[in-house]
């Protein structure tokens, strides 16, 4: 009947929803959000940095064979492209691993065999996720550097407008952006200094770097969450493996006892006859 079909569909939906590894799903969403925030905001912040250096500090791009700040920014942009694609694939792999090692899969598809390959894959994901967590910690620390630099620039702009007659200057050589031989100092009182402080480029780039730092922090939290999930899955796989060995030994012993009992019964029957 229609009522039974609706009830059957409802039970099937509940069973399917119960098979979703929600901890892995939450970690994957957090990872994708953090990586998207870091890559998108970081890419645009680097583009804003190039515009600020060229328009206000008059830093000129060197020849193609020289390693200057613009070449470094281009390299970092390509690294960002690689991070975005790599962690998109890695998030999918971790979700698949979560599906195949969660206890809900056992309830959905019945009992299953824990293979040595499965245990090795779980251990490999734990090690790889731990390495990625350390890498994201390094990325977070690296992203904090431009946030610190832009905070100093923003602070100098605020103080220059508040303190009349103060001589405040910005020198890119302090941060290693330009070689020491090139003097690209920008001091308060100049027209370019005030135009830079009042521009949307400086404010937008500063806030984009802050968002990129928040995205890197979210990716670190996602990696920690994944480590907890993978460790729990590893413990489940290990316990399931032990239980599987116990069931195999128990089944073998019961079969041996049954064979012994059958043999003795046949011997008694032969003795009577």
pLDDT by 10s per residue, the chain, length 273? 555 665 667 777 776 666 677 888 899 999 999 999 999 999 999 999 999 988 888 888 877 777 788 889 999 999 999 999 999 999 999 888 887 776 544 544 444 455 566 677 788 889 999 999 999 999 999 999 999 989 988 888 887 766 666 677 787 877 777 776 777 778 777 788 888 888 899 999 999 999 999 999 999 999 999 999 888 877 777 766 666 666 667 777 777 777 776 776 666 666 666
User: Does residue 1 lie in a domain region?
Assistant: no
Q: For residues 87 and 77, give the distance between their C-alpha atoms in angstroms, rounded to a whole number.
A: 16
Number of domains in the chain: 1
Residue ranges with strand state E in 116-262:
169-170, 186-187
User: Does residue 72 lie in a domain region?
Assistant: yes
User: Does residue 261 lie in a domain region?
Assistant: no
Q: For residues 187 and 103, give the distance between their C-alpha atoms in angstroms, rounded to a whole number.
A: 64
Per-residue confidence (pLDDT) for residue 111, from 0 to 100: 47
- The continuous run of DSSP H or E covering 36 comes out as helix 22-55
Structural domain harbouring 72 = 23-142+206-240
pTM of the model: 0.79
Q: For residues 153 and 16, give the distance between their C-alpha atoms in angstroms, rounded to a whole number.
A: 54
Residue 156: CB atoms within 10 A of its CB come to 19
Identify the three-state secondary structure at position 186: strand
User: Does residue 86 lie in a domain region?
Assistant: yes
Residue 94: CB atoms within 10 A of its CB come to 23
User: Does residue 173 lie in a domain region?
Assistant: no
């Amino acid at each position: 009947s229609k009522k039974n079909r609706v009830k059957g569909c409802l039970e099937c939906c509940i069973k399917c929803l119960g098979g979703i590894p929600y901890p892995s799903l939450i970690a994957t969403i957090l990872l994708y959000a953090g990586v998207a925030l870091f890559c998108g905001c970081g890419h645009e912040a680097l583009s804003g940095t190039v515009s600020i250096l060229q328009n206000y500090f008059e830093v000129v791009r060197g020849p193609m064979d020289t390693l200057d700040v613009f070449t470094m920014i281009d390299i970092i942009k390509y690294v960002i492209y690689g991070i975005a694609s790599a962690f998109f694939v890695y998030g999918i792999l971790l979700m698949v691993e979560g599906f195949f090692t969660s206890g809900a899969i056992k309830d959905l598809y019945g009992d299953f065999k824990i293979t040595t390959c499965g245990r090795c894959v779980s251990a490999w994901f734990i090690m790889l996720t731990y390495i990625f967590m350390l890498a994201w910690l390094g990325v977070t620390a690296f992203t904090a550097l431009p946030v610190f630099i832009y905070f100093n620039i923003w602070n100098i702009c605020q103080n220059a407008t508040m303190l009349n007659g103060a001589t405040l200057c910005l020198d890119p050589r302090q941060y290693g952006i330009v070689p020491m031989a090139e003097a690209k100092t920008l001091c308060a009182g100049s027209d370019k200094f005030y135009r830079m402080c009042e521009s949307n480029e400086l404010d937008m780039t500063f806030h984009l770097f802050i968002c990129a730092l928040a995205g890197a922090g979210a990716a670190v939290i996602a990696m920690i969450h994944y480590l907890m999930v993978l460790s729990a899955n590893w413990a489940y796989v290990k316990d399931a493996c032990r239980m599987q060995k116990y069931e195999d030994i128990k089944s073998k012993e019961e079969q041996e006892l049954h064979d012994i009992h059958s043999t003795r019964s046949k011997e008694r029957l032969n003795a009577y006859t």
